[in-house]
């Protein structure tokens, strides 16, 4: 199997696993990713910046944002610096959902990375970094896998 074949296969499988992980919150991973990225970027991120961080075109993001607004998770506001631009803000319900999604995704990553040495993860990320630079694409930063939530999720996971 080649890298070119493995990446899309892994992406589809990871998204399916993430969908299953976040299902109890009532959002699909297609809505969870923008919600989480707004939380990670901080209140007031512009729609275009969010699209870049997600690696999608801004018009493709609009429908998801509309659903998040309709669901009461986020609100759009005029950018004080540029009235033509909109900034995105988590509502209290959105902040709560974002926190739950982060914990669920951290538990998923802990399960997936179990038994994989830190050095292997670091090597993989270095290779991805080289590919990103050579391909000229911006990829949103991934949170560190060693967080209290990941450790707690791993500690409470049942052995197989």
Of 139, 88, 110, nearest to 21 by C-alpha is 110
Domains of the chain, start order: 3-155 (1.10.10.10)
Closest CA to 75 of 57, 51, 95: 95
Reported pTM = 0.75
Helix, strand or coil, per DSSP, at residue 93: helix
Tens digits of pLDDT across the chain (160 residues)? 788 889 999 989 998 999 899 989 888 888 999 999 999 988 899 998 898 888 888 888 999 999 999 999 999 999 888 888 889 999 999 999 999 999 999 999 999 999 999 999 999 999 988 988 998 885 645 444 334 444 443 444 333 3
82 DSSP β-pair partners = 79
């Amino acid at each position: 199997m080649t890298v070119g074949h493995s990446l899309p296969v892994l992406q589809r499988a990871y998204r399916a696993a993430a969908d299953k992980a976040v299902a109890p919150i009532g959002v699909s991973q297609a809505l969870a990713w923008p919600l989480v990225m707004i939380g990670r970027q901080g209140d007031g991120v512009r729609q275009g910046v969010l699209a870049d961080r997600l690696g999608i075109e801004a018009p493709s993001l609009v429908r998801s944002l509309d659903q998040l607004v309709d669901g009461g998770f986020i609100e759009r506001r005029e950018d004080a610096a540029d009235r033509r631009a909109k900034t995105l803000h988590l509502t209290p319900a959105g902040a709560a959902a974002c926190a739950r999604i982060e914990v669920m995704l951290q538990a998923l990553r802990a399960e997936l990375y179990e038994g994989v040495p830190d050095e292997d993860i670091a090597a993989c990320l270095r290779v991805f970094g080289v590919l990103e630079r050579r391909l000229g694409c911006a990829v949103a930063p991934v949170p560190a896998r060693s967080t209290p939530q990941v450790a707690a999720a791993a500690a409470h996971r049942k052995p197989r």
